[in-house]
Amino acid sequence: MLTLTCCEGLVSRNVNDMNERDIKRLLALAASSLPPAGLSVGEVSQQFGVSTRMLRHWDKSGLIRPVRVANGYRSYMPEDIARLKRVLLYRELGVTSTRISQLLDAPASGVLEDLEKQRLILIERIARLEQALHDADRLIDLARKGEDAMIDNQWHSEAKERWQDSQQWMESVEYQATNDDNQREKDMQHMEDVEERLAQAKRDGVTPGSPEANALAEEHRDSLVWYHVTLPMHVCLARMYEQDERFRKHYDQREPGLTAWLRQVIEANARTQGIDPDAATWQ
């Protein structure tokens, strides 16, 4: 005589005494009492850092289709987990979802070809990240120490005291961190060339506000590569050049009266572009 034992109430009944509905109910109860063989959606989500929403989406799209246990819940078996790991790897390599779906069931030769291409892309990405890390480390070091061998200590200390909390200070520090000695020398040489053209223009009698003078003003503004210089900031710098004896001496050594003429040129250029020099502020 065949006997089925139901966990609910521990009741034993003869199969011959049960109708079809009772048998189905008993089998369902027995199946639901068994522990799931795989991982639940929540467990997979927590273990692999994938949202439950994404897991359900992949199930619906057929990318990863875990089995369903008697209670209707998804259960990820070892083969499902292996497939999931491949999906995550392809995603990390930058493979599109459509291509991932194709690769999961593709022959080994096709997968190998794709992986070799993605590996080259990954190598390039690593190189860029390593360079970014190097630049960040140097930027942090410069920001903390507040000094650089290419900068005169007296001027640098004064600039740090005045501008350390400004965006322009951090931009100048970043410039030092991301450009080598050769580039900095080229930039300095370019600025000196612009200053010499300004001096020659003054000697030639170029009038502030003329197209030639405005073009030179823009060249001068662009040569200040340490940080982004807006038109109002350019006006403020020109006034500082005239007020600070050190800057005035620097420019007037190239051409007597160049500092005052340069201020007029910069103010006229700003006025041409809709900036009132009298209301200009550092912004």
Structure tokens that stand for 1 in this block: 């005589």
β-bridge mates for residue 76, sequence order? 39
Q: Residue 115: its pLDDT value, please?
A: 81
User: Quick check: 44 and 56 in contact, CB under 8 A?
Assistant: no
DSSP letter at 39?
B
pLDDT score for 144: 63
Question: pLDDT under 70 in the chain at which residues?
Answer: 1-37, 142-166
> Which distant-in-sequence residues (6+ apart) come within 8 Å of 102 by Cβ?
none
| pLDDT score of 31 | 44
* Runs of H (alpha helix) within 76-163: 78-92, 97-104, 108-145, 153-163
What pLDDT is stored for residue 227 in this prediction? Answer: 85
Tally helices (H) and strands (E) across the chain.
13, 4
Asked if 220 and 269 touch (Cβ cutoff 8 Å), the reply is no
- What was the pLDDT predicted at 159? 57
Q: What is the DSSP string of 108-119?
A: HHHHHHHHHHHH
Model pLDDT for residues 226-260, shown as the tens digit of each residue = 888 999 999 999 999 999 999 999 999 999 999 99
Q: In sequence order, what are the beta bridge partners of 74?
A: 68
Q: For strand 74-75 and strand 67-68, is the pairing parallel, antiparallel, or unpaired? A: antiparallel
Give me the domains of the chain, ranges plus CATH numbers. 3-32 (no CATH), 41-105 (1.10.1660.10), 116-178 (no CATH), 179-279 (1.10.490.50)
Rg of the chain on CA atoms, in Å? 36
pLDDT of residue 8: 38
